[in-house]
């Protein structure tokens, strides 16, 4: 499968945005610093959205400004509209992510507009970003199912992905927001979308609600996809997708990739330390199987 895989660590955004126990800006910064120390080149660190909608991501400007001096790393922030763009750029953002949905029900619930309206909303953002030399990543949510509309057809995903790509997104990340996908469907989806956006520019953003994310990623790797979004400890979920749990856990992805001979550059011990610290703050153990196994092993060694 080659060895060119890029992990986008989304724990500080997608993970923490849905955790009920609030954690301080200082703790968010410390979490990101720990992830930087573990070796992540790309980290999604916050959102410039309404703090009434997502209070966990308030003050993302302070977070970005605190970590921005790591010039060798790429920090991503979510931007829903021009207002968010202004705030992100003022805070120093160099990479932003816009987010659309493949289903109307989720688009309405998440960003209060239709899919077509969201694409219109992103146009001035993308135009300005191009002029300002800012990279834009595009997300498509509900690519394998929607909590409101049910089934989502690959052609619907391909259509939204194409519009984001045509507008200038450098990469389109495909979100299985509610984690309902299975490997054959993930494979079929990637093939369909790769007809519109090059496979090399597609991200796999799979939530693990039904425990299928790692299998789906493996199927995607076999198809040639090489970008994986994951969250340390399997943190989080989506506030507008009731019952959805977190992203695939980064520890599990790293363990699988390294086991396949694909070098990730991630220091597992440091990643585990970052996960354990944030897990203590939010008051629940990591859902990552690898993190649980390594923690149990370390505990057994201490008591031996």
Nearer to Mg ion, 205 or 294 (CB): 205
Residues 6 or more apart whose CB falls under 8 angstroms from that of 221 comprise 1, 5
- Residues 283 and 256: their CA atoms lie apart, in Å, by 27
CA angle, 293 then 254 then 29, to 5°? 90
Here the tokens at position 240 are 């507008």
75 binds ligand HMG (CB under 6 A): no
The answer to whether 139 contacts ligand HMG (rule: CB under 6 A) is yes
Name the residue nearer to ligand HMG (CB basis): 49 or 294: 49
- Please compute, for residue 36, the number of CA atoms within 13 A of its CA located in the half-sphere on the CB side: 18
Smaller CB separation from ligand HMG, 112 or 269: 112
- For position 53 contacting ligand HMG by CB under 6 A, the verdict is yes
Residue 179 site contact among Mg ion, ligand HMG, none (CB < 5 to 8 Å, cut-off depends on kind): none
Residue 141 binding result from Mg ion, ligand HMG, none, given CB thresholds of 5 to 8 Å by partner type: ligand HMG
Q: Is 201 an interacting residue with respect to ligand HMG (CB under 6 A)?
A: no
Among 7, 8, 40, 48, binds ligand HMG (CB under 6 A): 48
Question: What whole-number distance in Å separates Cα of residue 118 and Cα of residue 174?
Answer: 16
| Segments of 29-119 assigned E as strands | 42-47, 74-78, 95-101
Tokens of 218: 């493996």
Cα separation, 235 vs 265, whole angstroms: 21
Catalytic residue among 113, 146, 169, 238: 238
User: Exposed, middle or buried: residue 290 (CB in 10 Å: 0-12, 13-18, 19+)?
Assistant: buried
Q: Is 154 in the site for ligand HMG (CB under 6 A)?
A: no
Scanning 33-41, 76-84, 194-202, 296-304 for contacts with ligand HMG by CB under 6 A, the matching segment is 76-84
Helix (H, G, I), strand (E, B) or coil at 9: strand
| Total binding residues toward Mg ion, as defined by CB under 5 A | 1
Q: Which does 5 bind (CB under 5 to 8 A by kind): Mg ion, ligand HMG, none?
A: none
- Our finding on whether 50 is near ligand HMG (CB under 6 A) is yes
Residues 171-200 that bind ligand HMG (CB under 6 A): 175, 177
Q: From the list ligand HMG, Mg ion, none, pick the one residue 83 interacts with, judged by a Cβ distance below 5 to 8 Å according to partner type.
A: ligand HMG
Using CB under 5 A, which of the segments 10-18, 90-98, 144-152, 290-298 binds Mg ion? Answer: 10-18
By beta carbon distance, the residue nearest ligand HMG is 175
User: Quick check: is 113 catalytic?
Assistant: no
Burial degree of 149 (CB within 10 A; 0-12, 13-18, 19+): middle
For the CB of residue 295, give the shortest distance to ligand HMG in the complex, in Å.
Answer: 26
183 CB contacts (<8 Å, ≥6 apart)? 212, 215, 216, 218, 219
Residue 14 near Mg ion by CB under 5 A:
yes
In three-state secondary structure terms, 242 is: coil
* Pick 88 or 213: Cβ nearer Mg ion: 213
Per-residue burial over 226-260, b if 16 or more Cβ lie within 10 Å, else e, is bbbbbbbbbbbbbebbeebbbbbbbbbbbbbbeee
Rule CB under 6 A: which residues touch ligand HMG? 14, 17, 47-50, 52-54, 78, 80-81, 83-84, 99, 110-112, 139, 141, 175, 177, 205, 207, 238-239
Rule CB under 5 A: which residues touch Mg ion? 14
Residues annotated as catalytic are 238
């Amino acid at each position: 499968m080659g060895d060119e895989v890029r992990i986008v660590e989304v724990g500080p955004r997608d993970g923490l945005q849905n955790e009920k126990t609030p954690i301080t800006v200082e703790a968010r910064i410390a979490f990101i610093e720990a992830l930087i120390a573990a070796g992540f080149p790309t980290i999604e660190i916050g959102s410039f959205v309404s703090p009434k909608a997502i209070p966990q991501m308030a003050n993302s400007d302070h977070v970005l400004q605190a970590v921005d001096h790591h010039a060798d790393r790429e920090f991503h922030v979510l931007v829903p509209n021009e207002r968010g763009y202004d705030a992100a750029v003022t805070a120093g953002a160099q990479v932003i992510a816009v987010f659309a949905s493949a289903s109307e029900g989720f688009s309405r619930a998440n960003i209060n507009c239709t899919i077509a309206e969201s694409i219109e909303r992103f146009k001035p953002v993308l135009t300005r970003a191009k002029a300002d030399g800012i990279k834009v990543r595009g997300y498509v949510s509900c690519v394998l199912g929607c909590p409101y509309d049910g089934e989502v057809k690959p052609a619907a995903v391909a259509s939204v992905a194409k519009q984001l790509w045509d507008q200038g997104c450098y990469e389109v990340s495909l979100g299985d927001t509610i984690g309902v996908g299975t490997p054959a469907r993930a494979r079929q989806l990637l093939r369909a979308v790769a007809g519109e956006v090059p496979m090399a520019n597609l991200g796999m953003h799979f939530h693990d609600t039904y425990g299928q994310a790692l299998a789906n990623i493996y199927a995607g790797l076999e198809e040639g996809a090489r970008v994986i979004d994951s969250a340390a400890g399997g943190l989080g979920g989506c506030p507008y997708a009731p019952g959805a749990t977190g992203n695939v856990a980064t520890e599990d992805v790293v363990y699988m990739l390294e086991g396949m001979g694909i070098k990730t550059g991630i220091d597992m011990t440091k990643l585990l330390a970052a996960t354990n610290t944030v897990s203590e703050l939010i008051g629940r153990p990591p859902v990552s199987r690898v993190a649980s196994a390594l923690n149990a092993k370390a505990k057994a060694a201490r008591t031996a």
